[in-house]
Structure 1
């Protein structure tokens, strides 16, 4: 009897393993057929608000991310823009598992990695790396550049044998445009742009497929920003990388991104290609952001209508009902307070064909196209 029980247990375990292999094989086939390399669906992150010292009780929650969905394809750059506090950086931390989501799913190559832990999480982190915002605090001042870039090899020793790590670190320094002889220097001996290159080299060490860049140039001078962005574009072509590029500078996002998502108070309010978002915006918030972008033509700048939003950004602990943007929107009506608009192609443009400039998702009941940037004066 005991032998029969053991046999059944082994058979059951073999069946479970076979099902797992079949599911993995299906996921890989779907990915190879052109499905997104990263799929985020209804991602939510609420930070609890508590009261009390000895006996804490939750009295609310800060809704940092409140239902974000997007896809990222292989070799694509998805830019995410929005005001400070809209939830961009929290999305980056959720994708890289620096924070655990409250709800929603994250799929990498068809596999659900939302609750991954242990070895599974370690494997995921090898393929999804992050470049941090501040090049001054993201590098350990007590470690040499060689140790900083080589640290991922200590965590993933299968990538590079111990005897080969020094050579790989030197190669990475050369790839990002730094002298390989700098391997024994410390972070304080480098400029801001050079430090960010070191951070990028560290992110490339494990040859990931996805890099999440959380405002990687916001702390740098304008000339250095261009160098770092051009470097990231070159590395994308060289290594076949996919980027989630987070920033608040709309001009930089336009330069590097294939598609752009605009965030407001924890939600994506408009998603489209670079041309759709920058030349044919349909959401009022996107239009207001673009109206503030400087135009290098004094005459065009003088003729352009500036949209000035009234009021403050609502608290993410108590967001408005319905459309979160309605308290600052000049188009707001009663419907906006009662019904949350879905992120979809608006009814106004439902008769347009896919591929037309205005045929892209926008979370607004009264979406309408509006010229965001005035071109040069015709002579």
Structure 2
């Protein structure tokens, strides 16, 4: 299904801080882990938004916030125009029918004591209005068939399936209530490469069949490019660049995105030898001690004094405003520019920004 401009999800100023406390009898907060620190994006109907970034950048926390597995510290999440951030009880239960999740690990996300039929059919026990009691067994068989599993295996247990088959069970469970939005938190990272392709192709087919919108979270940029219509790059709790797949992969303007792309493996040895590699120095700062100004400046070869003083907005860089083209997309960098091929080694990419 072709994505439309009508948003089904609108996320504004989303924040999640985990308090750090000290003391036993008298506990006091001494700081906070700023896992998500001001995230904004929209998701159109029938669209796939890919969220990428290093481990620890806040991708999975965003997924939990969207599904209300965590309560946000601040910000809002709007579903079909309604603010669902503070919902609870029956109102939250009704919204959860329309926002389902596929978890990262197919081995731990399924109850080993339940049969596949019970796992996929459990949403009908929680939402009995979704299917008449006499129809549930038949619907479970249909879902297993839709995701490429043998309906005759409905009485088997999770340990009797491979990793890829278990993830298909997780996808079937997510589809049971016919949701509008599926949040997929690194759904193929624990699978073999050949199985990854099968699961990605399955999700692509199901999107058209069930009219789904995806928030697809991954650290593998090649996987995201295959399935995503738009891509958002996260670093240390914030989105630093966003645009269409062509804009991000072929015309990246943020230094962090350029560094990520340079690390993507290239199967052709000759092409790999010709490609310059951006190697960042230093480690990712702790989310308990975020750098001032631009949070990427401590690892960026373009960092200047301004980067330590001003937080760059996520907007089209001034250099590209008024000039239509693939580089004119949102990038949170004071010195955003496209990186010509072969320039990586000449830019001093091992240097740190101002302390």
- Structure 2 residue corresponding to 1:305, chosen from 263, 276, 291: 276
- Name the CA distance, whole Å, in 2 between partners of 1:231 and 1:372: 35
User: Cα–Cα, structure 1 residues 371 and 134, in superposed 2: closer, same or farther, change >3 Å?
Assistant: farther
- Which residue number in structure 2 is paired with residue 206 of structure 1? 177
Q: CA deviation at 1:34?
A: 4.8
- Name the CA distance, whole Å, in 1 between partners of 2:211 and 2:143: 16
Mapping for residues 128-167 of structure 1, pairs under 5 Å: 128-167=99-138
Q: CA deviation at 1:112?
A: 0.5
- Structure 2 residue corresponding to 1:367, chosen from 336, 340, 348: 336
- Name the CA distance, whole Å, in 2 between partners of 1:142 and 1:240: 32
Is residue 2:162 matched to residue 1:188?
A: no
Q: CA deviation at 1:160?
A: 0.5
Counting matched residue pairs gives 340
Q: Is the 8 A contact 1:279 1:372 kept in 2?
A: no
- Name the CA distance, whole Å, in 2 between partners of 1:276 and 1:268: 15
- Name the CA distance, whole Å, in 1 between partners of 2:340 and 2:7: 31
TM normalised by structure 2 equals: 0.94
Unaligned runs of 5+ in 1: 1-32, 375-379
Q: Is the 8 A contact 2:276 2:342 kept in 1?
A: no
Unaligned runs of 5+ in 2: 344-355
- Name the CA distance, whole Å, in 1 between partners of 2:185 and 2:104: 5
Q: Is the 8 A contact 1:291 1:372 kept in 2?
A: no
Mapping for residues 236-315 of structure 1, pairs under 5 Å: 236-315=207-286
Q: Alignment RMSD, CA only? A: 1.2
Instruction: Return the index of the structure with the highest Cα Rg.
Output: 1
Mapping for residues 17-28 of structure 1, pairs under 5 Å: none
- Structure 2 residue corresponding to 1:357, chosen from 326, 333, 345: 326
Measured against aligned partners, the alpha-carbon deviations of 1:305-334 in whole angstroms (never above 9, x if no partner) come to 100000000000011000000000000001
SS at match of 1:158: helix
Measured against aligned partners, the alpha-carbon deviations of 1:64-98 in whole angstroms (never above 9, x if no partner) come to 00000000000000000000000000000000000
Q: CA deviation at 1:352?
A: 1.2
SS at match of 1:260: strand
- Name the CA distance, whole Å, in 1 between partners of 2:315 and 2:10: 17
Q: Is the 8 A contact 1:280 1:358 kept in 2?
A: yes
- Name the CA distance, whole Å, in 2 between partners of 1:298 and 1:196: 33
SS at match of 1:67: strand
Q: Is the 8 A contact 1:145 1:186 kept in 2?
A: yes
- Which residue number in structure 2 is paired with residue 233 of structure 1? 204
Q: CA deviation at 1:43?
A: 0.2
Instruction: After superposing the two structures, state which structure 1 stretch, 342-351 or 245-254, moved more.
Output: 342-351
